[in-house]
Each structure stands twice: as structure tokens, then as C-alpha cells.
Amino acid sequence: MKLQEETDGLQRKGGPDRENWLPVYAAGLSTFCVVTTEMLPVGLMTPIADDLQTSMGTAGLTLSLPALLAALFAPTVVLLAGRIDRRRILTTLLLLLVVANIISALASTIGLLLAARIIVGLCMGGIWAVAGGLALRLVPGRSIGVATAIIFGGVAAASVLGVPVGAMIGDAAGWRFAFAAMAVFCAIVLVVNLCALPALPVHQSVRLSQFGHQLLNRRIQLGLAITFLFVAGHFMAYTFIRPLLEVVSGIGTQWVGLMLFAYGAAGIGGNFVAGPGAARRTGATLLCIAGALAAVLFGFALFGNSALGGAVVLILWGIAYGGVSVSLQTWMMKSAPSDIEVATALFVAIFNIAIAAGSFAGGRIVDQFDLGTNLLVAGILPSLGILLGLKAQRLATAKVD
């Protein structure tokens, strides 16, 4: 009950006196922009590997490398930013994101492409961490929850739409044009933020001791562990979704982009189903997601060897994973209502460590064995998450949720 009272108190305090929604939407576009850039190689993995004459596992580093750096940079930027105006930090990182996409579009070797993806990792960690605390400065206390949902809605939308958009553009004009188009989009978002965001000064810096305190928080520890299992298991398999659809399911290249759009639509549906459920019963929602993720990963290995089977499981996969971000973010915010910026930085860090670990491990398994074996191994992680989901549900029943 104490945790709920602290959450209610957070909703009543802080923020300006009047609604200020245009900057909120601009911040949501920023998170959409950077997460879409991060996810772009997933739908382009096959043509990237072919064009740059590298293995599928090595091409997978275009996802795992920026994710790892984002994990390192997210808490670092919160600590080092001090009292620097958050508008300046956000727009500078968006400018770097434009540069990274341009370099990616022009890359002639896998080494140069990975160098560009290092810049993406820095932008990813910084933008996501900074954006997590902007709602408090942009809207009155009564609207903080809605504003946070909009800002993190950019993350959810990018996670489910970034891959199919990249695949469609890549199929139509080549993978380099996909990165070039992303550079243009990032430049537009930069201009929008320069025009829409007010000055965002910070009057109190985050201290290292706050991170130490939250790392000792049992609910935060549980949330971080569940995040790792869900996200690592998902990306072990999803990093190679294009070859899975083409090689395992036998779906023609011309249909891959459409299938990934169907996945994205299913993911948005999953987000809207899980969001209200997580607000009321966070632990039970996480338990359901754990079971669903394990089922679809094992299900693809068992039933994905046909076009129909692969399509059906892919849509169910989208529904299952679509609820991951909103449910886990809800758990983290409820677990540390007075330290949301710190909780968000820790969440971003473990989320991206899981992306890096999952995609890297998946690449090694694919290179050493095959895509089917990778699916079976990936399904083990959310299966373990079921055990932690049961613990989260017990905490919810004890009214700490």
C-alpha cells in the first residue's frame, strides 16, 4: 500500500501549471526515431550480409553492438548530464543520429557499418534515458502518466513497426536507401524538437548513491531479471526473423515486408491489451507474457516450417511481445516512484544488455548450428521468466503492486 501511496503522490506533484502536449509528442517522436534506427538491421539482415560479404552472425553485430553501448551509456548520461539543459542533450543526440544513418547508408565494409552503429548505441542510451524523465517537466502532475505513456509509446511503436518499415524500403530500393530514408526522418524529428521543446533546465542532479539504492530494491531486481529473460529470449530469435521466414517457413522475399507489418500491427494490439492489464495487475500480466513468449518461440520451431504456420505463429509472437515494454516499464515505475529517472536508466540498460546478449548468442548458435536450434534455445529464457512471473504475481497479491 505504501508503494501505491507514493505513486499517487507523484501524480499530484511537479510539472508546469498548464498542459504542454506538443513537446510531449516531439519527445515521443525522438524515442520512435532512435529505436527504429536501432531495429532497422533486423529486417535488412540478409541483404546486408550478402552485400558486405559477411556471415549472418557477424551481420547480427549491427544489432548487438549498439545495444551493448546503449546499456553502458544510459546510466552514464543520467549521471554526467548534471544540470545541462535536457533540450540541448536531446537535440545534440538527434543530430548524431542523423550522421550515423548517413554513414550507414554509405558504408562499404562491415567495419564501417559497425562504426556507425557505435554512434547509434550512444544515441540510443542517451535519448531513451533523458526522455524517460521529461514528462515531469512538460505537463502538470495529473497528466504525468499519460505523457509518459506517449513518450514511451514511441519505443513500443518503433519496436513493432521499425523492422517491417525497414524491410519494405529495403526490398523496394535496397538496404542502403532504408538507412538514407531514416537519416531524412531523423533530421525532420530534429527540427520538430528544436521548434517544439522549451528550455528544460535541471535543478537537481542524479547521484550515484541513488543507483546503488535502487539496485538493492528487491522489486527493481525482479523487474531487471524479468526484462533480461524476456528481451534476450526474444532477440535471440527475432534478430534472424527474415531468414526464419525465408528459409524455415519458405515465405517468398516479396512477402516478408508484409508479414512483418502484420507482426507490427499485432504488436500494437498486444501493447494496448497489456497496458490496461499491467496498470491493474502488473504481476499477472508479466506472467501471461512469459508463457506467451515461450509458447510462440517453441511454436515456431514446431509449426513454423510452412508458410501458413510461420505466418500464424509470427502474428501471435507480435501480440506476445507487444506487451513487454509497457508492462515492464509499469512495473519499474511502480517499484521506484520517487526515482523514476534512475529506474528508467536501469531499465534501459538491462533492456539493451539483453538485446546485445540475445542477438550475439543467437548469431553464434545460427553460425554453429541452425535457425531451428536457435529457436529452441531462445524459448528456454522466457520459460525461466515464468518462475519470476509467479513471484511477481505473489508480490501483486500481497498489495505491493
Looking up residue 61, the CATH number of its domain turns out to be: 1.20.1250.20
Closest among 180, 3, 23, 178 to 87, alpha carbons compared: 23
Three-state DSSP state, 371: helix
Question: Which residues are CB-contacts of 40 (< 8 A; sequence separation ≥ 6)?
Answer: 162, 163, 166, 178, 179, 182
Higher-pLDDT residue of 344 and 316 is: 316
Is the pLDDT score of 98 beyond 90? yes
Q: Determine the Cα–Cα distance for residues 227 and 349; give it in Å rounded to an integer.
A: 10
First-to-last CA distance in the chain? Answer: 8
Are 274 and 322 in contact by the 8 Å Cβ rule? The answer is yes
73 C-beta neighbours (distance < 10 Å), count: 26
157 C-beta neighbours (distance < 10 Å), count: 22
Find how far residue 133's CA is from the centre of its chain: 17
Are 347 and 217 in contact by the 8 Å Cβ rule? The answer is no
Q: How many residues does the chain have?
A: 401
For the chain, the domain total comes to: 1
Are 395 and 219 in contact by the 8 Å Cβ rule? The answer is yes
Higher-pLDDT residue of 147 and 263 is: 263
Burial class (CB in 10 A: 0-12, 13-18, 19+), 360: buried
Higher-pLDDT residue of 356 and 121 is: 121
Is the pLDDT score of 399 beyond 60? no
Q: What is the pLDDT, as a whole number, of residue 11?
A: 47
Is the pLDDT score of 218 beyond 60? yes
pLDDT tens column, 267-300: 888 887 887 777 778 888 999 999 999 999 999 9
Burial class (CB in 10 A: 0-12, 13-18, 19+), 319: buried
Burial class (CB in 10 A: 0-12, 13-18, 19+), 367: middle
Question: Running DSSP on this structure, what letter comes out for residue 199?
Answer: -
7 falls in which pLDDT band (50, 70, 90)?
very low
Q: Determine the Cα–Cα distance for residues 347 and 20; give it in Å rounded to an integer.
A: 26
Q: What is the pLDDT, as a whole number, of residue 319?
A: 92
103 falls in which pLDDT band (50, 70, 90)?
very high
Mean pLDDT of 117-145: 81
Is the pLDDT score of 260 beyond 80? yes
pLDDT tens column, 10-37: 444 445 556 678 998 999 899 999 989 9
Q: Determine the Cα–Cα distance for residues 160 and 321; give it in Å rounded to an integer.
A: 9
Q: Determine the Cα–Cα distance for residues 285 and 379; give it in Å rounded to an integer.
A: 19
Give residue 95's domain range: 2-397
- Helices and strands, counts by H and E, the chain: 19, 0
Question: 264-298 in b/e burial notation, b at 16+ Cβ within 10 A?
Answer: bbbbbbbbebbbebbeebbbbbbbbbbbbbbbbbb
Average pLDDT over the chain, rounded to an integer: 85
Is the pLDDT score of 400 beyond 80? no
Determine what percent of the chain is predicted with pLDDT higher than 70. Answer: 91
Q: What is the pLDDT, as a whole number, of residue 61?
A: 87
- pTM, to two decimals: 0.80
Residue type, position 295, single letter: A
Higher-pLDDT residue of 218 and 158 is: 218
Are 366 and 240 in contact by the 8 Å Cβ rule? The answer is yes
